[in-house]
Amino acid sequence: MNIDEQHFKRLLDAYLRGSATSEEKKLLDDFFETYPELHRPSASADPATREVIWRQLATNLPTRAPQGKGRTLLTIGYSVAAALALFAVSWFLIARFSRDSPAPAVAQLRQAVTDRGQKLKIELLDGTQVTLNANSKLEFPEQFQGDVREVYLTGEAYFQVAHDAAHPFIVHTPVANTLVLGTSFNVRLTPDSSAEVTLVEGKVDVDGVILKPNQQAIARSHGEPVHVRDVDVAAFVDWKDNILRFDNMPLAEAVTVLENWYGVEITLDDALVACPISATYRKETLKNVLNSISYTLKITYRQDGNKIVLQGHGCK
């Protein structure tokens, strides 16, 4: 990293965090006055976003500062016009990668959608393989353009990202962004609107928090700290191999999984909501799963088409 890039990084961070000097702030304020069609940033970019910006700047900044006396802001003798041009590049990237920004309109996005009871395997043009779980949606460009590869997920998906260090891969969700170079991981949006990112191999950045294999990041909402814990990754990725696992899961949560898995609607007595279930099912029919759960919890069920009712007096 050269000195120009270092100076610009400090300037951009200071401006976004509100700690820039009056001279630095005026320089960047002047840019927005020059281009009134752009909106001033109101919040700082997350670390993953800034890291992409620094990589982009590395290809735009000169390797040596001009010689002679002049302004000390950014580099000696560097003109205000050049500084503003650099900021224009950075602000474009911030707007593009912001969690609050919509999908870019430059490239037409395609959609892969699954209903309850469905799973779908997709191979993107860069070689990345995605397994989309039931009741999920993935938006992606037909062909990746520019310096990053971006997709947009709701629901749950398992990613095996094709390695390309020059073009980071970003999975956007309503709760968190995951930045990777090449790795295998699972992303799931939970019923309580949290995002779970489970790393199988490689390394990922979840809103500035680096994960190691066999770790899971839980992001609950914008601005809140990302929680990291060690997990048995099989419990979170076996679904892609049609293995259904419940690890001390409350029955109410297990019912949601079963509804998506088999495409049915299940109701249960209030007394059963918190009953824990631990079991593993490999390519089992719904009938076998229901019989197993009924035997384990000492409950009964009745089925009418795709509607199922679980009944019991509590956990046995």
The pair of structure tokens assigned to 28 is: 């960047």
What pLDDT, on a 0 to 100 scale, did the predictor assign at position 81? 39
Each as own residue / partner, the long-range contacts of residues 168-175 (CB below 8 Å, 24 or more positions apart, any chain) are: 168/52, 168/55, 169/128, 170/48, 170/52, 170/97, 172/99, 172/103, 175/219, 175/220, 175/221, 175/222
pLDDT, tens digit (0-9, with 9 covering 90-100), for 236-273:
999 999 999 998 999 999 999 999 999 999 999 999 99
Mean pLDDT over the full length of the chain: 77
Computed on alpha carbons and rounded to an integer, the radius of gyration of the chain in Å comes to 24
The Cα-based distances of 204 to 54, 171, 255 in angstroms read 17, 11, 31
pLDDT, tens digit (0-9, with 9 covering 90-100), for 185-236:
999 998 778 899 999 999 999 988 999 999 999 998 766 889 999 999 999 9
Alpha-carbon distance 215 to 261, whole Å?
25
The dihedral formed by the CA atoms of 295, 298, 299 and 303, expressed in degrees to the nearest 10: 10
pLDDT, tens digit (0-9, with 9 covering 90-100), for 19-67:
667 766 766 565 445 544 444 444 445 555 545 444 444 444 333 333 3
What pLDDT, on a 0 to 100 scale, did the predictor assign at position 191? 77
Q: Residues with Cβ < 8 Å from 217, sequence gap 6 or more?
A: 176, 196, 197, 206, 209, 211, 226, 227, 228
Q: Which residue has the tokens 């951009």?
A: 12
More confident residue, 131 or 224: 131
Contact 54, 11 (CB under 8 A): no
